[in-house]
Structure 1
């Protein structure tokens, strides 16, 4: 398998305006990520983009206000991932504060209805006498479902962030920053971010009408909802542009102070993670997977109810249920990973890899194939689609696609669909991730078409995996205080990457912990410091022998053990 290439990030010579007080290492890291003024990393709520820049938001807000006044049955149509769950909970909590009395939610079970506002789901919504549907984190591709809802006399507002198809659904209002012609500055909002902005527009119109004074209700402080926005935004892996970082930072402040909803507090507790030290990593790797597990294996209603409850005891019970489901998800994924690992092991023996990797097994679980595709993509640096049966009796298979930088995976699917209409039953997604459904007997044909389409988009340089490093760290800066400063300099995330450094160390000791992790003690080349390190997913045999030098890529982390905080390096790559 080709060796990844190390590339140190370019650092402009121009200093950050107003950043004279920054530590030189933080200053260097910010510059390498395009920061030119310190105000870009101050994360003040007043710097958020204004809601009125979103097309359709004023119309959508008026429809909601009229529905509240008419006491219509409002139903939030959510999605079965963490972004969808947080979006649903946020809309319900926010609209309750704005006078909505008759509000419910419905999330399609992925195994019965599939994704989005489907025609079949509309039949269920009609049974509960829904009058206004508000989709969150979905709907932009649901033309037939929206049309059917309209034919049944329902009003429909679509809020979404996914890329739109050519034909938009016939909704009463659409709020999506990625729709053609929308001038909202941030195109990276998650579904929960779009939902938050719609609530802000509703509140603004109600305030203009003196609604809160007339009805003797307090004006809602929507900043109290940023915990949900932060969780959904980080979980959905959208780019953390400046606008998203402001919202995530505000949410993390609530979470660290334990002023978040009881459900988030309970998830931290069941994950055994220090909530007071919460950051985007703890949301992404400990909280979000437990919330996502419900939608992957069972019913996301458990997760939504967890985020809606204000009862701490109930929150603990629901969080424990999610933790159990997540353990089941891990077991299923481990079984699936065995097959995927065997494929990767075979690929590693080759000097070159195929441009694309398509995987399918009749016993795989459709709720976990996305995680599997992500893992294989990490190992191979290739676009990967993992497929599973739609259900036991279906002739269809569902695929989850994960891409690499430089390849817009949804655009590739659009091209294939245009060239071979009908082969893909349905699809949708983003640049880096997408989902699709196709007949099982079309898999080989699709794989060929996918390979041809990808070859047209990718060059050899794109297929070369590049590890972007923030360079070396002086020995004097390899300390606990620096690790704390780096943590506080975030939030870090997609396209605002957590700092990754590279350097040479002498291996003083190494030992296996768990099944496949390595604990090391590393010495700086000047022999001044010895530092603990951990390498997850690495066996000691993969490292150089003790007393030998090695070139590593690593992150600086704060390790807490028995009430003692120390610097620990997390090794991500072995270079030499």
Structure 2
């Protein structure tokens, strides 16, 4: 797909004593992302937003403090993705640190029960005989499930971050920064961030009631759980506002110091990475997928047990199992992606990847053989390839009576709001749905697929214009020749944390192609010469569109991220190519 490289509007860096220790290229990057004072880069825990304006947290803390002090049974109900797994782990570990003696967790199997606290899951929860049920990373839309728990006399505390519907569940306490009337500053908190705040306030409640003093329990340092918070926050691709950046940076510092949970260190190790050099992107692209593989193909309890495990040897065994599941997921994903490309060609009668005018603006894809646990990744891959909102569907049952869909959006379209408009306009098409601005999930009747696909495209066309469908690479400009080195790449890697809405810098430049060859059947390996100099730099583009045409590349414009390639103890600069075009 042809893309457009657009440079950020970056103001010249002004000389300042407070910024003097930061390289000019990094100053430019920070200021382009809205960082105006050096204090904003002080990612200390003292700068975290307080719980003062987090609606419902005081009520939640009182319920949980009472449960801890009276040894009541607490059941955590999580979600089957990385945010849900880390949220479940934070809640379980923190409650036990504070003296809770009966804490269990339950994660719905996506293939049997689907998402959230449903009445069916409440029925399963009965076997644990809980006095208090705590949802993490779900529950804000679980009106029927909460009602079912209420009938059984179970107290319910909902902790979530997803956008609420028109009706809130009748829970004993709801903590969600996105609920009506909540003035908490970080609306972008992940589910794991929300439960971390709840556990922090619970500690305060117990401290003030002299619980730790009376029992001799050492008041826990909950910062020891920030590695889990960082992982869940990055993996859930929530915007990295200032508060989330503090949580993530503090978690990454623990990991680099070797103080992370044994399960996280084991997942990093089996991926062949060095925890001492970990970056936020590694949590998203290395650790997160291995943990998510459990929920996609098997049971997320495997992933949670890896995170809860205190024994490094056992943690490594579980991590190896998760790595195997991730390899299996990759194979399934590859097959589904190839099939999806065929379906797109059928939708686009031009059969031209550079001219997708015949494609729906809101693209729906479905095949009865697709794996329900992998459709989210498939939707993301197809969104990246064709730059339009995509929903991938798979059967929810053997007879395809119901379909599960996973949606990924592009800038300009709030996908959950778009689904709400479809549901309002065509009430019979959507059985249920929920999600964020950029990702959502839903269930529809199989017989409604064609009608839904048409309705979704209709709504998307109303919300977007043709300019939204043009793929844009936003560049931080051109690095000077003296900045094209290993030092720059290392500084950028550790300068984040980079992530959603605080993107890692991408640069662009013109290069002569000294050599171009294909490696691993689908990746383009380049030796580039900086125009007008003798400087040679390696580059690589993964899953390149230039396979079979690499000989045509003589002079290129490249959008890239500087990275460090380490081979046999020698470090060299390598450009991670995001896009290139022949000129």
| TM more than 0.5 | yes
Q: Could you tell me how far apart the structure 1 residues matched to 2:461 and 2:56 are?
A: 38
Secondary structure at the aligned position of 1:245 is classed as helix
How many residues were matched structurally?
Answer: 574
Partner of 1:339: 339
**CA apart distance, 1:46:** 0.6
Preserved contact between residue 543 and residue 574 of structure 1 (Cα < 8 Å): no
Larger displacement relative to structure 2 (474-483 or 454-463): 454-463
2:371 is the counterpart of 1:365: yes
Alpha-carbon RMSD across the aligned residues, in angstroms, is 1.4
Partner of 1:223: 223
Distance 1:190 1:15, change over 3 A: farther
Q: Could you tell me how far apart the structure 2 residues matched to 1:544 and 1:495 are?
A: 37
2:309 is the counterpart of 1:309: yes
Runs of 5+ unmatched residues, structure 1? none
Secondary structure at the aligned position of 1:358 is classed as strand
Taking the TM superposition and a 5 Å limit, the aligned residue runs for 1:131-170 are: 131-170=131-170
**CA apart distance, 1:501:** 0.5
2:83 is the counterpart of 1:107: no
Taking the TM superposition and a 5 Å limit, the aligned residue runs for 1:91-106 are: 91-106=91-106
Q: Could you tell me how far apart the structure 2 residues matched to 1:535 and 1:128 are?
A: 51
Preserved contact between residue 507 and residue 545 of structure 1 (Cα < 8 Å): no
Preserved contact between residue 306 and residue 315 of structure 1 (Cα < 8 Å): yes
Partner of 2:420: 414
Preserved contact between residue 15 and residue 36 of structure 1 (Cα < 8 Å): no
Q: Could you tell me how far apart the structure 2 residues matched to 1:487 and 1:269 are?
A: 19
2:497 is the counterpart of 1:488: no
Partner of 2:52: 52
Q: Could you tell me how far apart the structure 1 residues matched to 2:499 and 2:144 are?
A: 35
Larger displacement relative to structure 2 (21-30 or 291-300): 21-30
Per-residue CA shift, 1:123-169, capped at 9, x if unaligned?
11112211111000000011100110011100000000000011000
Larger displacement relative to structure 2 (329-338 or 347-356): 347-356
Taking the TM superposition and a 5 Å limit, the aligned residue runs for 1:2-81 are: 3-13=2-12, 15=14, 18-81=18-81
Runs of 5+ unmatched residues, structure 2? 346-350
Q: Could you tell me how far apart the structure 2 residues matched to 1:16 and 1:356 are?
A: 47
Distance 1:405 1:349, change over 3 A: closer
**CA apart distance, 1:376:** 0.4
Q: Could you tell me how far apart the structure 1 residues matched to 2:252 and 2:70 are?
A: 37
Partner of 2:361: 355
Preserved contact between residue 13 and residue 27 of structure 2 (Cα < 8 Å): no
Taking the TM superposition and a 5 Å limit, the aligned residue runs for 1:533-572 are: 533-538=539-544, 539-543=546-550, 545=552, 548-572=554-578
Q: Could you tell me how far apart the structure 2 residues matched to 1:281 and 1:33 are?
A: 18
Preserved contact between residue 516 and residue 551 of structure 2 (Cα < 8 Å): no
Partner of 1:266: 266
Distance 1:480 1:63, change over 3 A: same
Preserved contact between residue 116 and residue 138 of structure 1 (Cα < 8 Å): yes
Q: Could you tell me how far apart the structure 1 residues matched to 2:54 and 2:219 are?
A: 23
Secondary structure at the aligned position of 2:430 is classed as coil
Per-residue CA shift, 1:473-531, capped at 9, x if unaligned?
11111000111111121110001001100100011111111120111111001223101
Larger displacement relative to structure 2 (418-427 or 159-168): 418-427
Distance 1:109 1:563, change over 3 A: same
Preserved contact between residue 61 and residue 201 of structure 2 (Cα < 8 Å): yes
Preserved contact between residue 140 and residue 158 of structure 1 (Cα < 8 Å): yes
Secondary structure at the aligned position of 1:163 is classed as coil
Preserved contact between residue 363 and residue 388 of structure 2 (Cα < 8 Å): yes
Q: Could you tell me how far apart the structure 1 residues matched to 2:539 and 2:581 are?
A: 16
Preserved contact between residue 131 and residue 154 of structure 2 (Cα < 8 Å): yes
Taking the TM superposition and a 5 Å limit, the aligned residue runs for 1:250-265 are: 250-265=250-265
TM-score (norm 1): 0.97
Per-residue CA shift, 1:380-438, capped at 9, x if unaligned?
11000000000213510000000000100000111111112132000000000000000
Preserved contact between residue 344 and residue 379 of structure 1 (Cα < 8 Å): no
Per-residue CA shift, 1:58-104, capped at 9, x if unaligned?
10000000011221110000000000000000111111111100000
Partner of 2:407: 401
Q: 1:453 aligns with which of 459, 464, 486?
A: 459
Taking the TM superposition and a 5 Å limit, the aligned residue runs for 1:419-438 are: 419-438=425-444
Secondary structure at the aligned position of 1:52 is classed as coil
Distance 1:71 1:394, change over 3 A: farther
Q: Could you tell me how far apart the structure 2 residues matched to 1:541 and 1:8 are?
A: 30
